[in-house]
Structure 1
Amino acid sequence: MTKMRIIVSGGGTGGHIYPAMALIKRLQERDMIEDVLYVGTEKGLESKIVKNAGIAFKTIEIQGFRRKLSLDNLKTVKLFLSSIHKSRKIIKEFKPDIVVGTGGYVSSAIVYAAHTMHIPTVIHEQNTIAGVTNKFLAKFVDKIAIAFTEAADQFNEKKKIVFTGNPRAQEVVNIQKNDRLTEFGLEPNKDTVMIFGGSRGAKPINQAAIATMSKFVESDYQVLFVTGRVHYDGVIKLIDDKYLNSANVSVLPYIDNMPEILPDIKLIVGRSGATSIAEITALGIPAIFIPSPYVTHDHQTKNALSVAKVNAAVMIPEKDLTSDSLFKEINQIMSDTDLQQEMSNNSKKIGVPDATDRLIKVLVDLVNK
């Protein structure tokens, strides 16, 4: 069994960090790590997540380019050059067998530095639309791992591309049904819809859900409405007490270890981030996606369309989201068990339950080579 010294880097958003953490976790489970180091930024979300997981963590200072001409871009170039210098020092000290980047500006320096030092490198692209960092790094790395087949069109380096899926898929695929819904005042055996706008919540999704409460309380299914912590107090004030006290509805700010409850959910309503899609398709859960129109290159819409085109999900553009459009789509799916089954089967067909092991094979092949 190959044991590796591995540097992993990815930052900025959970979409870059959680796949990296899933990769490390699986390598540990398979006893394939001699040593691991995570390189991030001190200010990034990765600082908290990686440190809490007890993984060795080093930082570099780096920032992204502004889209408009700005003096800040001169600082960006200076930081990039100094971060490469620091990255080379980190690499010399750690002596990795391979370096993996999962996106975000921080991964650009360490992966590029590894390339210049003739160390095997891999990048992982989670979205249908490749990020700026991965597009830059594609010219230099040995392999480009992708989670959506559509992402292949984003890179000119076709021979480097390997479809692996998103490591988060394998992390959740073995979770079994459980009774966690009882923690939220819901029945564990009743069909459940979860409405969730992401870790911070999404105001347009919350507004549509609030306006639909009177219909939810009379439905044959129950609704778990997760508002996001920053919106919770405001949402509660707008919902009539008789709806809040209904046995059919539970309103929460956030759920820790949310993947644990996914096997007990019949339908998910929410954003179409890459991590969410990886988890949903691995478990085969029908979905209604309301993509965020505010993300770079509108990649959430492209993500959602990739699932909707095989009839594993329905997409409602945010501009078309109303109480009526939301309830119509939810009710159509929840009142038709054959449709639920068809969507679930289609979702599983595009899910990648062995995504992390596929990515690990790419790493092993490069290290052995």
Structure 2
Amino acid sequence: MKLNDSYRVIISGGGTGGHIFPALAIANEMKKRNPQNDILFVGSKHRMEMNRIPEAGYKIIGINISGFQRKKLFVNLSLPLKVMACLVRCAGILRKYKPQIAIGVGGYVSGPLLLSAVFNGIPTLIQEQNSYAGITNKILARYVDKVCVAYNNMEKYFPKEKIILTGNPVKNEMLERKPEKSTAIETFHLRPEFPVIFISGGSLGARTLNLSVLNALDEIYKANVQLIWQTGERPYEEMVKLFENRMEEIVKKNGVNYNIIKERVKIVPFIKNMHQAYSASDVVVSRAGALTLAEICTVKIPCILVPSPNVAEDHQTKNAEVLIQKGAGWLIKDKDAQANLIKKAMQLAFDEFEKGKMINNQSGIVPENAAEKIVNEVEKLISERCYSKKT
């Protein structure tokens, strides 16, 4: 098989945007190299990948799988049977589709698909986004051919000889020239004379960040700052109602103009064109998911990170510490956020020296061109397998 031949590829993973968007970046790079490459996604039924992947123009098959429930242990009694059923289902998908490689990007759904691929002699590669490896990838690493990682010192989780340092793939628009700030500000109907703080709780939203905004709306008005507030899709309607109620209280108490406050806070459920939001903003406030940090370091924007306390092994704090130790951002604990987060964000928005220092220190933290490097490894594995069959 020649290097420019088209390939059949399965990509599995999902559950959150942190798994889905790297998967799409890999798929897009493969399509960029050869539009004839045939890519199939396998995701978990009823999770966000079942919408996001087709929206991006790719096929997806959903399977019934759920992970280990730490808070409801009795639910896990049926887990072994579910895993066995998923292995059988995945084996059927592989027999029908006949991929030349299977790629896992994390999330429980990638487990049975990649294991089935290993059992069927199909080349396999996984990509780990975090500085603390997820349980599915730690298990899979024993059996797959290659492990692409975003951080150094991952030998404590994976076999050293399988590790390839590639970085985290980000959306194509993050790698292109940033939109002009003035243009991006107009996109969100904001005013150029006031600094902009971007509150991003990710695709699913972050209640702590949302409540922090609600608690500080009167301070936001007094400080002459503006907000792009991504609430997340599920909590959006609730946050809009709470925002309206809070605004009524502030207007009655202080006699301020309601419309002025509403103009300064742009509430949205989800932003697809994240590069526009980054370009419009002076500061971003977010959780510390691996993809978010890769985007921040790619576009170079001052940041305040609030690691989620609801993730395995506190891995978001470990992600954030990579930036904090280099002076590339600030960290606020989740338990302190409602009292301090917006005050610190407004402080940073007006501190030109600190913002400049963060931007300079973000250079070199994340490897560049991650999607290209990962696809290079994909093509190597396919070529090596084809060569070994010939010999």
Scaled by the length of structure 2, what TM-score is found?
Answer: 0.86
The separation in 2 between residues aligned to 1:244 and 1:146, in whole angstroms, is 48
The separation in 1 between residues aligned to 2:67 and 2:330, in whole angstroms, is 34
Describe the shift of the 1:295–1:69 C-alpha distance in structure 2 as closer, same or farther (beyond 3 A).
closer
The separation in 2 between residues aligned to 1:27 and 1:202, in whole angstroms, is 33
Find the partner of 1:212 among 207, 213, 216: 216
Which residue of structure 1 lines up, in the alignment, with residue 7 of structure 2? Answer: 4
Whether 2:210 is the aligned partner of 1:194: answer: no
Which residue of structure 2 lines up, in the alignment, with residue 250 of structure 1? Answer: 265
The separation in 2 between residues aligned to 1:218 and 1:20, in whole angstroms, is 42
Shift of 1:71: 5.9
Q: Contact 2:198/2:228 (CA < 8 Å) preserved in 1?
A: yes
Find the partner of 1:161 among 142, 145, 163: 163
Find the partner of 2:359 among 341, 344, 361: 344
Q: Deviations over 1:183-214 (max 9, x none)?
A: 43312575322123233433332333233333
The separation in 1 between residues aligned to 2:222 and 2:84, in whole angstroms, is 61
Which residue of structure 2 lines up, in the alignment, with residue 224 of structure 1? Answer: 228
Describe the shift of the 1:68–1:264 C-alpha distance in structure 2 as closer, same or farther (beyond 3 A).
closer
Give unpaired runs (5+ residues) of structure 1. Answer: none
Aligned Cα root-mean-square deviation (Å): 2.4
Identity of aligned residues (%): 32
Q: Which amino acid aligns with 1:264?
A: A
Name which of structure 1's ranges 178-187 and 138-147 shifts more when overlaid on structure 2. Answer: 178-187
Shift of 1:334: 2.5
Shift of 1:75: 2.4
Shift of 1:102: 0.6
Q: Which amino acid aligns with 1:34?
A: N
Find the partner of 1:172 among 171, 174, 199: 174
The separation in 2 between residues aligned to 1:212 and 1:49, in whole angstroms, is 33
Mapping for residues 16-35 of structure 1, pairs under 5 Å: 16-31=19-34, 33-35=36-38
Find the partner of 1:89 among 77, 88, 92: 92
Q: Which amino acid aligns with 2:363?
A: K
Name which of structure 1's ranges 179-188 and 1-10 shifts more when overlaid on structure 2. Answer: 179-188
Q: Deviations over 1:290-317 (max 9, x none)?
A: 1111122222111111111111110000
Q: How many residues align?
A: 367
Which residue of structure 2 lines up, in the alignment, with residue 42 of structure 1? Answer: 45
Describe the shift of the 1:189–1:40 C-alpha distance in structure 2 as closer, same or farther (beyond 3 A).
same
Give unpaired runs (5+ residues) of structure 2. Answer: 385-391
Q: Deviations over 1:241-290 (max 9, x none)?
A: 43753377223132432413212222101211122111111111110011
Q: Which amino acid aligns with 1:162?
A: I
Shift of 1:111: 0.5
The separation in 2 between residues aligned to 1:60 and 1:203, in whole angstroms, is 29
Shift of 1:69: 9.2
Q: Contact 2:125/2:148 (CA < 8 Å) preserved in 1?
A: yes
Describe the shift of the 1:237–1:37 C-alpha distance in structure 2 as closer, same or farther (beyond 3 A).
same
Which residue of structure 2 lines up, in the alignment, with residue 368 of structure 1? Answer: 383
Whether 2:332 is the aligned partner of 1:330: answer: no
Q: Deviations over 1:349-368 (max 9, x none)?
A: 21334111111111111111
Q: Deviations over 1:66-102 (max 9, x none)?
A: 4489564442212222222222222122121111001
Name which of structure 1's ranges 356-365 and 253-262 shifts more when overlaid on structure 2. Answer: 253-262
Q: Which amino acid aligns with 1:110?
A: L
The separation in 1 between residues aligned to 2:292 and 2:220, in whole angstroms, is 24
Q: Contact 1:244/1:251 (CA < 8 Å) preserved in 2?
A: no
Q: Which amino acid aligns with 1:115?
A: V
Q: Which amino acid aligns with 2:259?
A: N
Shift of 1:114: 0.9
Q: Which amino acid aligns with 1:292?
A: S
Q: Which amino acid aligns with 2:275?
A: E
Q: Secondary structure at the match of 1:11?
A: coil
Find the partner of 1:288 among 304, 323, 326: 304
Q: Which amino acid aligns with 2:160?
A: K
Whether 2:74 is the aligned partner of 1:60: answer: no
Name which of structure 1's ranges 300-309 and 137-146 shifts more when overlaid on structure 2. Answer: 300-309
Q: Deviations over 1:12-33 (max 9, x none)?
A: 2221111111211121122265
Describe the shift of the 1:257–1:243 C-alpha distance in structure 2 as closer, same or farther (beyond 3 A).
farther
